[in-house]
Structure formats: structure tokens, C-alpha cells
Structure 1
Amino acid sequence: MRNLHKTLIAFGLLSIFAAGCKKDEQSIDTEYPVIDLSIANAFPQQCATVSRGQKFTFKARFTDNAELGSYSIDIHHNFDNHSHSTEVSDCSAVVVKTPVKPFVLIDTFQIPAGQKTFEATNEITVPADIDPGDYHFLIKLTDKEGWQTIKGISIKIN
């Protein structure tokens, strides 16, 4: 009985020790995914102009060291000249104004499983009856582990 008791204690301690061990550091993804707007025909670029009632094509390349997950596009007005752009240069902003019918688009897209590189291409229609002016175009890229990169671009809608 005494040997059984010692064996159970030893097994319990071994189980605790094994559960407390860290995973191999090389298997843990700690890198952020990358949004690349330097590829040919990437759009929009900082300070780009798009027109009401027209379509444009969003194009970017996404990469990750392990596996990509999803991306989202967020277009919203910047009529109050707020900032969360990740670009170094600013576009010339117009006078602060009150929105009447601003354009808002938020959409999420899944990237096929197992991809380390993905070229995103999405056609976006800008309604004809929205307020023209300064807008933000945010790209949010998330990898399979949950790391996220955000790229903010200032655009104009005329």
C-alpha cells in the first residue's frame, strides 16, 4: 500500500511537471502579418481619390511567417480631421464639416487555410449619393494565431 501511495505521488508530480513545461519556442508564432501596398497596381495608396457612383478595386498582398487568417476593410469619413493613419505623410484635409450621408463600409474576408501569401482583390462600389470629402481606408490583417496588423490610409471621395 505504501509503495502504491509513493507511486501515485510520483506520478502526480511528474504530471504537474510535464504540464508546466513550455512548448518549443520555435513553434510559437510571435510575428505580425504584413500588409504590402508596394506591389504593382496596389490600391488605394495614401491620398488616392475615388469618385462617387464609381467602382474601384482594392488590391494588396498579405504575408505571414506561419499562416494567414482573415482581413477586413473599414472605410469611414474623416470630416472631423481625426487621425489613426499609419502613413508618415498627411493629405491636405478640408474644413471640418458635419456628415449628412457619409459612406461607411466594414467588411471581413476569410483567407483560404494554409496560406502564407495572399493577394487580396476586392471590387468596391462607392454610392453616388454619399457625402464627398476626406475618408479613412483601414486594412486590418489577422494571422491564424490572432496577431493583427493595421494599415490606415487617407483617401478622398469626390
Structure 2
Amino acid sequence: MKKLFILLVMVVFVITACNNKEIDDQKPEIDLNIPAAFPLNCDTLWLGEPFTFKALLKDNAELGSFSIDIHHNFDHHSHTTEASACEPDPEKTPVNPFVFIGDFEIPAGQTEYMTDTVIEIPEGNNQGEFDEGDYHFFISLTDREGWSAQKGLSIKIFKR
């Protein structure tokens, strides 16, 4: 009986020890309130010139990856993550809009990560010069558990 009791106590201990894993239920954070953050809402980027994406990415447990999507906003659509609206150019039909989609891994074990990502904006492609005007700069951040946060910025892209 004593051996059965000890065995039962050990089984209960193992089961409860396995269930004490801390659960990550918090979304990560995209912080653009740092002094070096770029771009910010309503900023201008330039065709033919690279720029450096700067943001502080944070998570309570562990960061995973981030992605950037730059696409035209010539039709004045909106995303629910935008900070505020900028003065838009008149609506227009895209001819040769610039598009960028990039995925970036964050080194393992990080709870904070300062991006320092250089993005090239060419002047054009084999179809000609890229369209100037209103664009969205969309940031998506995912932590190791799969929680995600998004932030959309309204920007302008012009040639100098």
C-alpha cells in the first residue's frame, strides 16, 4: 500500500509539473515612438534611393519574425492599423506601382530587437518608372508562439 501511495504521489507530481508551463498570451509590440524610428506616418521615401527601416520590436517572451509590405494607395483604401490619415493626392489608376514584400527573421531568444533593415526602392523596372504618390508601409510582427501585431503607415513615394 505504501509503494502504491508513493507511486501515485509521483504520478501526480509529474502531471502537475508538466501543466505549470507559463502560457504566452500577449501580442508583440511595434514601437515607433523611439527617436530614430523611420519611416513614420506621412513620411516621404524617394525612388532610386535606399532607406533604413528603424523600429523597436518587443515581446514579453520571445520575438519571431517581421515582414514589411509596401503597396500603392492610389485608391485611398485604409487599414484598421493606421495611426492617422495624411493629406492624400487625388485618386488615380496605377500604371506601374512599386511593390515590396520582405520577410525578416529575428535572432532567437530576443525579447527586444532594434531593426536596422535597408530597403532599396528602385526608380523603376522593365515596365518603366514606378508611379509616384500615396503608398502604405505595412509592418507585421510575429512572436515565437504565433501572436502577431500589425501597424500600417501612410507614406509618399516620389522621385527627387
TM-score by length of 1: 0.83
Structure 2 matches for 1:5-154, cutoff 5 A? 23-24=19-20, 27-128=22-123, 129-154=129-154
Instruction: State the 1:69 CA deviation.
Output: 0.3
Q: 1:85/1:153 Cα in 2 relative to 1: closer, same or farther (>3 Å)?
A: farther
Instruction: State the 1:39 CA deviation.
Output: 1.1
Does structure 2 retain, via aligned residues, the 8 Å contact 1:85–1:154? no
Letter in 2 for 1:23: N
Between Structure 1 and Structure 2, whose CA radius of gyration is higher? 1
Letter in 2 for 1:131: D
Letter in 2 for 1:60: A
Does structure 2 retain, via aligned residues, the 8 Å contact 1:85–1:153? no
Does structure 1 retain, via aligned residues, the 8 Å contact 2:41–2:83? no
**RMSD of Structure 2 on Structure 1 (CA):** 2.2
Q: Which runs of 4+ in 1 moved over 3 A?
A: none
Gaps of 5+ in 1: 1-10
Gaps of 5+ in 2: 1-7, 124-128
TM-score by length of 2: 0.82
